[in-house]
Amino acid sequence: MSIEPPPIDPGLRAEINAARDAMGRRLVLTRNFHRIEDAVVRQFNSLTSTRTAAASWGPGNRPPSKAVVISGPFRTGKTWLVNAALASLKPIVAGYIEVSPNPLSVECPSHFEMTGLGRNILDRLQLLPARSLGPTETMERVTRRLGIVRPTQLRIDEFQRTLHPVKVGPLRLDQERLRIWGQIQLLLDDPYWPTPIILTGLPEIITVLEQPRMGFLRDRCETVLALASMTPGDTEDVHELEGGFDQFGDAVGVRAERTRDDELPERLMLASNYAMGLAFELTHRAIENALENRRARFDIEDFAAVYARKTGAEDAANPFLARDWIRVDPKRLLAKDTNQKPAGD
The full set of domain ranges for the chain reads 31-226, 230-337
Cβ-contact 144, 125 below 8 angstroms: no
41 pLDDT exceeds 90?
Answer: yes
**Which one-letter DSSP state was computed for residue 314?**
-
Cβ-contact 309, 319 below 8 angstroms: no
**Which one-letter DSSP state was computed for residue 77?**
S
Q: Which residues of 154-181 are buried (b: 16+ CB within 10 A; e: fewer)?
A: bbbbbbbbbbebeebeeeeeeebbeebb
Average pLDDT on 8-23 reads 89
Q: Is 72 exposed, middle or buried (0-12, 13-18, 19+ CB in 10 A)?
A: buried
345 pLDDT exceeds 60?
Answer: no
pLDDT digits (tens, 9 = 90+) for 91-134: 999 988 999 999 999 999 999 999 999 999 999 998 888 788 89
Distance CA 303, CA 318 (A): 10
Reported pTM: 0.89
Task: Work out whether strand 67-71 and strand 221-226 pair parallel, antiparallel, or are unpaired.
Answer: parallel
- What kind of fold does domain 31-226 have according to CATH? Rossmann fold (3.40.50)
Distance CA 139, CA 113 (A): 12
The chain-wide mean pLDDT, for the chain, equals 92
Distance CA 29, CA 222 (A): 23
pLDDT digits (tens, 9 = 90+) for 255-266: 999 987 889 999
Distance CA 9, CA 16 (A): 11
